[in-house]
Amino acid sequence: MKRRILITGGAGFIGSHVVRLFVSKYPDYQIVNLDALTYAGNLENLLDVKDLPNYVFEKGDITDEAFIDQLFGKYQFDGVIHLAAESHVDRSIMDPLAFIKTNVLGTAVLLNTARKYWKDNVENKLFYHVSTDEVYGSLGEEGFFHETTAYDPRSPYSASKASSDHFVMAYYHTYHLPAIISNCSNNYGSHHFPEKLIPLAIHNIKNNKPVPVYGKGENVRDWLYVNDHARAIDTIFHKGRIGETYNIGGFNEWKNIDLIQLLCRIMDKKLGRPEGTSAQLITFVKDRAGHDLRYAIDATKLNKELGWEPSLQFEEGLEKTVDWYLSNEEWLQHVTSGNYQKYYQEQY
Ligand code: NAD
Ligand code: DAU
């Protein structure tokens, strides 16, 4: 079936991988990438697909009601994959209102517009909302987040994502808007903006700068290769059940300090430095305010119902990621010039 799909936030980290997968795997679909090109959006992430005939880029803001209405009128979408968001927890601590605006209001504008255009016929329509495991709050030493775990967001970022999830389900229940949500753990891979732990550490190690580890480095995250997240989104978009939530994760928990030690060993090997050189850059800094201790996702439902599983072991994925950053120096230079320096000074 020919489909017309709106992907929001397609110039960002995960969005660019989702766009790349969809335009290459589904030549019959028309893929419209809507992105405001904030500091995190970068069309250089999509140079390899930008000229494909089934791909269109539209610059615009998801909070702009008139623009979103006009876009739905122009393309008559039958599917939305919504990734556009403010995504960095530390920035949400600095400026919570920007997160409320984009993540809550922006999602509501998209839902409302889809409702308007789909109200007479919801057949084969789908609003797919991409969300995070952070909505579930923080775990102790044991246990997992399940789809039934009560929401307990604790940062402005996770509160804004939790709110957007609630609006998606409210539109499903109240207006029968066909919707699905997925909640994923920490992604890593190529094109990741170097404000997040892994790309920031790679960038700093390469440049012999301190690698900041918050608190004692004891917080735990579950890491998933970004291409595996994109594959999961593809699976859920095509096979998921309307009205359901699916958790996505790597069954791959790491304490931050252990992850950084592993990354340092990989960087020593790749840069031809004596073992132990990069680890000397590790610097413990002030902890993140309200820092969630541990996230761990149970992705059994997605595996059992839809057959998805991660394709890569963590060390292999991390090596591929390091290789990408080391051979894409120009990309890193572009994204770390200008406003990045100002952010870095304020944050560290
Ligand atoms: P990102 O910050 O790399 O990209 C976000 C994209 O959204 C950027 O291209 C940006 O320009 C665009 N954008 C921001 N505000 C916009 C607006 N008002 N209108 C239109 N476009 C706008 O984020 P990411 O890490 O790729 O995350 C994508 C989505 O996945 C987010 O919804 C995030 O909550 C979710 N998620 C991320 C992770 C992760 O580990 N990165 C894990 C689970 C879920
Ligand atoms: O769990 C999914 C979430 O993962 C996504 O929803 C978010 O969009 C994404 O940014 C990510 O959030 P985290 O806060 O977990 O990712 P971040 O890379 O910022 O931090 C990972 C861990 O490393 C966290 O415990 C904080 C710590 N950290 C982070 C930075 C940037 C450091 O110790 N030092 C740092 O400099």
Q: Which CATH number fits the domain that encloses residue 14?
A: 3.40.50.720
Centre of ligand 1 from the C-alpha of residue 86, in Å: 6
Residue 140 lies in a domain: yes
Average pLDDT over residues 124-129: 97
Catalytic residue among 78, 134, 195, 228, which?
134
| Residues 218, 219, 225: CA angle, nearest 5 degrees | 120
Residue 279: inside a domain, yes or no?
Answer: no
Is any atom of ligand 1 closer than 6 Å to the C-beta of 130? yes
- Which of 133, 147, 165, 292 is the catalytic position? 133
Instruction: Judge whether 214 lies within some domain.
Output: no
**Domain containing 150: what range?**
4-189+223-252+293-313
For 319-333, the pLDDT digits (tens) are 999 999 999 999 999
Ligand 1 pocket, residue 63 CB under 6 Å? yes
Strand, helix or coil for residue 248: strand
Neighbours of 341 (CB within 10 A): 10
Q: Give tens-digit pLDDT for 132-151.
A: 999 999 999 999 999 999 99
- The answer to whether the CB of 132 falls within 8 A of the CB of 183 is yes
pLDDT band at 298 (very low <50, low <70, confident <90, very high): very high
* DSSP secondary structure, 290-320, as one string: T---B--B--HHHHHHH-----S-HHHHHHH
In 3D, which of 225, 221, 295, 313 has the Cα closest to residue 260?
A: 221
Q: Is there a domain that residue 265 lies in? A: no
Tell me: pLDDT of 32 over 90. yes
Q: Please report, as a single letter, which amino acid is at residue 63.
A: T
State the chain's mean pLDDT as an integer: 97
Q: Specify whether 340 is catalytic.
A: no
Residue 322: per-residue pLDDT:
98
In this structure, is residue 132 part of a structural domain?
Answer: yes
Please check whether residue 216 lies inside any domain of the structure: no
Q: Residue range 50-57: average pLDDT?
A: 97
Nearest CA to ligand 1 atom 44: 132
Residue among 27, 32, 43 at smallest CA distance from 68: 32
Mean pLDDT of 90-98: 98
pLDDT over threshold 80, residue 60:
yes
ipTM field: 0.99
Q: How confident is the model at residue 204 (pLDDT cuts 50, 70, 90)?
A: very high
**For residues 337 and 272, which has the higher predicted lDDT (pLDDT)?**
272
* pLDDT at position 120 over 90: no
Which pLDDT tens digit goes with each residue over 208-256? 999 999 999 999 999 999 999 999 999 999 999 999 999 999 999 999 9
Query: Which of 62, 100, 98, 101 lies closest to 83, judged by CA?
Result: 62
Residue 2 pLDDT exceeds 90: no
Residue 287 domain flag: no
Q: Is residue 5 predicted with pLDDT exceeding 90?
A: yes
Q: Is residue 288 part of a domain?
A: no
User: Is ligand 1 within 6 A of the CB of residue 9?
Assistant: yes
134 part of the active site: yes
The Cα 295–Cα 135 span in angstroms is 10
Query: Active-site residue 51, yes or no?
Result: no
N- to C-terminal Cα distance for the chain? 50
What would the DSSP string read from start to end of 119-156? TT--TT-EEEEEEEGGGG--B-SS--B-TTSPP---SH
Domain count, the chain: 1
CB of 157 shorter than 6 A to ligand 1: no
Say yes or no: CB of residue 149 within 6 Å of ligand 2.
no
1 has pLDDT over 90: no
Please compute the mean of the pLDDT values over residues 190-216 and round it to a whole number. Answer: 98
What contacts 71, CB < 8 A, 6 or more positions away? 6, 32, 34, 58, 60
pLDDT at 283: 98
Question: Are the CB atoms for 29 and 54 separated by under 8 Å?
Answer: yes
